[in-house]
Amino acid sequence: LNKIDDVTKAVYQLRKVGLGWFIPFIRTPMNVAKQWIEYSPMGIATLPGSANKKEQLAKFLVGSLVTGVGAEMAMNNRTTWAAPTDPKAKELFYASGKKPYSVKIGDKWVPMQTFGTFAWALGLPAAVKFYQEDSRTALTDSQIEKTTKSLMALGGFWSQQTFVSGLGSFVKIAEGDTDYSVAKNAAFTLSSLKPWNGLM
């Protein structure tokens, strides 16, 4: 958690080179990331440095229970991860009614972000399932590569949330998503200079 605070301080330095437009506020998203870790199986790692160990242990146990529920949903194909980057596959993905980073409750796809502090705990099994079975390279990747991608993808999941959507669009460019480009991102960012742009 202290390392996340260090990253927060480093990101604030990016404002000095003009990236403040893309990351207008960062402390809240970073605090959300810390909560996501605390309320997940990863929360056990925060126990040694915690001042209130009972509270921290409770967060870990509740988060682990949510991860268990997420695992059951993933095994029953009731979770989605990132939308495909290929245009045709993406079209089929959305045409089927699916949403990225979501769980199926009844006949509706509900974004994991809806579950607040438990979003990451719920998303862990979805990421693992995606990279074990559903990704384009699932058959050729080694187990170490799959595990690494699953853990790294959780950062991608965080970057796609509404509170860091400006940053998320640059992640999409890096992933090769054809719906995102540097020109589109720059145009969207410049449009925020227009007064009352959101209202219009």
- Per-residue confidence (pLDDT) for residue 90, from 0 to 100: 86
List phi, psi (to 5°) of 105: -120, 115
- Per-residue confidence (pLDDT) for residue 159, from 0 to 100: 67
Under a CB-based contact definition with an 8 Å cutoff, are residues 101 and 157 in contact?
yes
Contacts of 197 (CB under 8 A, 6+ apart): 191
Q: What is the DSSP string of 47-70?
A: STT-SSHHHHHHHHHHHHHHHHHH
Burial of 197 (0-12, 13-18, 19+ CB in 10 A): exposed
Under a CB-based contact definition with an 8 Å cutoff, are residues 114 and 108 in contact?
no
What is the mean predicted confidence (pLDDT) over 177-198?
60
- Per-residue confidence (pLDDT) for residue 125, from 0 to 100: 92
What is the mean predicted confidence (pLDDT) over 66-72?
95
**Is the model's pLDDT at 131 over the cut of 60?**
yes
The model's pLDDT over 12-63, given as tens digits with 9 standing for 90+, comes to 666 666 655 555 566 777 778 788 888 999 889 888 888 889 999 999 999 9
The model's pLDDT over 137-175, given as tens digits with 9 standing for 90+, comes to 888 888 888 888 877 777 777 766 655 555 555 555 555
**Is the model's pLDDT at 178 over the cut of 70?**
no
- Per-residue confidence (pLDDT) for residue 137, from 0 to 100: 83
The model's pLDDT over 73-111, given as tens digits with 9 standing for 90+, comes to 999 999 998 888 788 888 899 999 999 899 999 999 999
Residue whose tokens read 């001042």:
51
Helix, strand or coil for residue 142? Answer: coil
- Per-residue confidence (pLDDT) for residue 67, from 0 to 100: 95
Distance CA 26, CA 192 (A): 18
Q: What is the mean pLDDT of the chain?
A: 79
